[in-house]
Amino acid sequence: MSELIEVLTKDGSYSLRSVFFRENFHSSIGALKETKLKFIATSNLQRFKGKSLNVLDICFGLGYNSACLLDELVKQKSYLNLYALDIDQKPLEYSLRNESFLKLWAPKVKTIFTSLYRKNYFEDQFFKCSVLWGDAREKINLIPSSIKFDLIYLDGFSPQKCPQLWTIEFLSKVSEKLNSQGYLITYSSSAAVRKTLRNLGLEIFTIKPSFNKRTFWSQGTVAISKFDKSKLKPNFNFKNLSLMEEEHLLTKASIPYRDQDLNSSKEDIINKRLDEQLSSNLLSTNKWRKKWEMTKSSIKS
């Protein structure tokens, strides 16, 4: 699982490609750019200036999301309780050896990451950080039930490559960890993921694209337990789903991934979903694409 290939992205920041998952850790537009646009800008971190917050980073990877978060919180003197989940330490090891990566952040980020790599833990007067290595489906149970998160970053490989982390059962566990005003943020605009989150009782929003293009209609999804839509401001990085996106949730693409005992293989999860899609009377995703003049490559279903 640990065979990784270095990738230089378009904004000059480094990422990795997993040979096992046959997928890059980040979009080709840029690892740093993607982190800032999809996760950090969407978090509205100014809400926590001088305050404390709890954050769960699922699929820590190279650490871009947590590093960028820590870097911002250092500037605004906020207090952080961070939990991170990942199955593989190798990407973090790579980050600590990559000077280009380390130079992106305040020196404290390197100190924290080094401690996480060596001891799985870091704590000082501002930050308390823990990383749990192993299958996220199991390790999430080690987080104290009393902790509710203000931000949850869900940044695993895509549903087609790693469906284990996008099932209704796992997302149910994740949503239980979210506080009432907390944001669950993911790069995925998958209909299956969005419909599952909605069925779990969360309000669903789309992350605004950085440029207008029919085949690039969303940068991801934000899910919030209790949110007054009348307070949705133009300067937010997310907005209500468009009619096109709402209709996406009425197609076969919205059929969820299932993993009843949270121990199924990738193949079993995908095959069960395919069987359910074949027997479904929902609108085919192809018809939805044709109606909205979408290309197949633009949809993460």
Q: Is residue 299 part of a domain?
A: no
CB contact at 8 A, 15 and 7: yes
Does residue 248 fall inside a structural domain? no
Q: Would 107 be classed as within a structural domain?
A: yes
Is residue 284 in some structural domain? no
E strand or H helix that includes residue 182: strand 178-186
Domain count, the chain: 1
Does residue 300 lie in a domain region?
Answer: no
Domain contains 124: yes
Please give the radius of gyration of the chain, using alpha carbons only, rounded to the nearest integer: 19
The angle formed by the CA atoms of residues 194, 136 and 154, to the nearest 5 degrees, is 35
Q: In what order do the strands lie in the sheet with 79-86?
A: 121-123, 127-133, 79-86, 52-58, 149-154, 178-186, 221-224, 203-207, 238-240
Look at residue 301 in the predicted model and tell me its pLDDT.
43
* Inter-CA distances, 161 with 121, 205, 300, Å: 29, 24, 11
Q: What is the dihedral of CA 190, 196, 200, 206, to 10 degrees?
A: 20
- pLDDT score at 233: 82
Q: Is 141 exposed, middle or buried (0-12, 13-18, 19+ CB in 10 A)?
A: exposed
Alpha-carbon distance of 244 to 194, in angstroms, equals: 13
Q: Per the domain annotation, does 260 fall within a domain?
A: no
What is the spatial distance between Cα 258 and Cα 46, in angstroms, rounded to a whole number?
A: 37
Nearest of 281, 209, 272 to residue 245 by alpha carbon: 209
Q: Please, is 283 exposed, middle or buried when counting C-beta atoms within 10 Å of its C-beta (0-12, 13-18, 19+)? A: middle
The CA distance from 48 to 80, in Å, is: 10
Residue 188 lies in a domain: yes
Contact 15, 31 (CB under 8 A): yes
Residue range(s) defining the domain that contains residue 181: 30-241
The CATH number of the domain where 232 resides is what? 3.40.50.150
pLDDT in tens, the chain (301 residues): 569 999 999 999 999 999 999 999 998 889 999 999 999 999 999 999 999 999 999 999 999 999 999 999 999 999 999 999 999 999 999 999 999 999 999 999 999 999 999 999 999 999 999 999 999 999 999 999 999 999 999 999 999 999 999 999 999 999 999 999 999 999 999 999 999 999 999 999 999 987 665 557 788 999 999 887 777 888 789 999 999 999 999 999 999 999 999 999 999 999 999 999 999 999 999 999 999 887 544 444 4
